[in-house]
Homo-oligomer: A and B are copies of this chain.
Amino acid sequence: MQIESAPAEPSNVPSSNAENPVDGPRQIGIFLFDGVEELDAVGPWEVLAYWTLHHPEDGWRVFCLSDRGADVIGAKDLLLGAHHSVASAPALDVLVYPGGVGTRRLLRDPGHLAWVRGQRAGVPLLTSVCTGSLVYAAAGILNHRAATTHWASLNLLSEIDPTIEVDVDARFVDDGDLITSAGVSAGIDMALHLVARLAGIERAQEVRRGLQYDPRPPV
């Protein structure tokens, strides 16, 4: 199911999770790793952090996490800092998994794939940008699900799991408890959709205005 043309509805996500039954802010974690494509992570970061910092009353927070909490070096050689390690991070309500050349190593790492499956079991909403969905596919969690990825990796996504209903045209695919998006810059659109889904269309429109997101590609 692709919701690009359907109205976004506030909060399909449960208001708490098993690990954090006490009423507190709901948590969005962006997973960082060596070789993460910088804009894959920072596009959604900007959208989600603009929202959560300007509207703490909505009850959401966003942070970045990495395997051991260390800084990472992006695919294009920019250092990005994590706020938490996987072990120290608050329990997540939403995971954002960016893409980048670093995913090629992660999708062959059995320990990491076990962690991803654990996230699927415990996190109500999994999202990805670009080739982040390749890791989800390798972990088996896209089996018979609708999904997308960077245009250059669409074939690879199908090779990893032929049961995936690959949407080759979507900017992002909202399949309920799973949202995957197209390449790199598509994470911005996906994150705005996420704000609309979690906090309403008007809030997402406000974030869009704040980022002056009226794109006009000059070429």
Residues of A within 8 A of B (CB): 4, 8, 37-39, 42-43, 45-46, 49-50, 53, 64, 71, 76-81, 83, 130, 150-151, 171-172, 182-186, 188-189, 192-193, 195-196, 201, 204-205, 208, 210-219
Contact = CB atoms under 8 A, between A and B. Distances in A.
A189 B212 contact: no
Contacts of A4: 216, 218
Given A39-B43, A49-B76, A76-B53, A184 B204 contact: no
A45 B204 CA distance: 25
A171 B219 CA distance: 13
A94 B211 CA distance: 24
Contacts of A81: 71, 78-81
Nearest to A72: B81
Contacts of A182: 212
A193 B81 CA distance: 29
Contacts of A217: 189, 192, 208, 213-215
Nearest to A50: B76
A80 B79 contact: yes
A200 to B, nearest CB: 9
A63 to B, nearest CB: 8
A212 B186 contact: yes
Nearest to A215: B215
B78 A45 contact: yes
B212 A150 contact: yes
A80 B80 contact: yes
Given A39-B42, A71-B79, A185-B215, 16 more contacts: A4-B216, A38-B46, A42-B43, A46-B184, A53-B76, A71-B81, A77-B83, A79-B80, A182-B212, A184-B210, A184-B211, A184-B213, A185-B213, A185-B214, A189-B216, A195-B219
Nearest to A202: B219
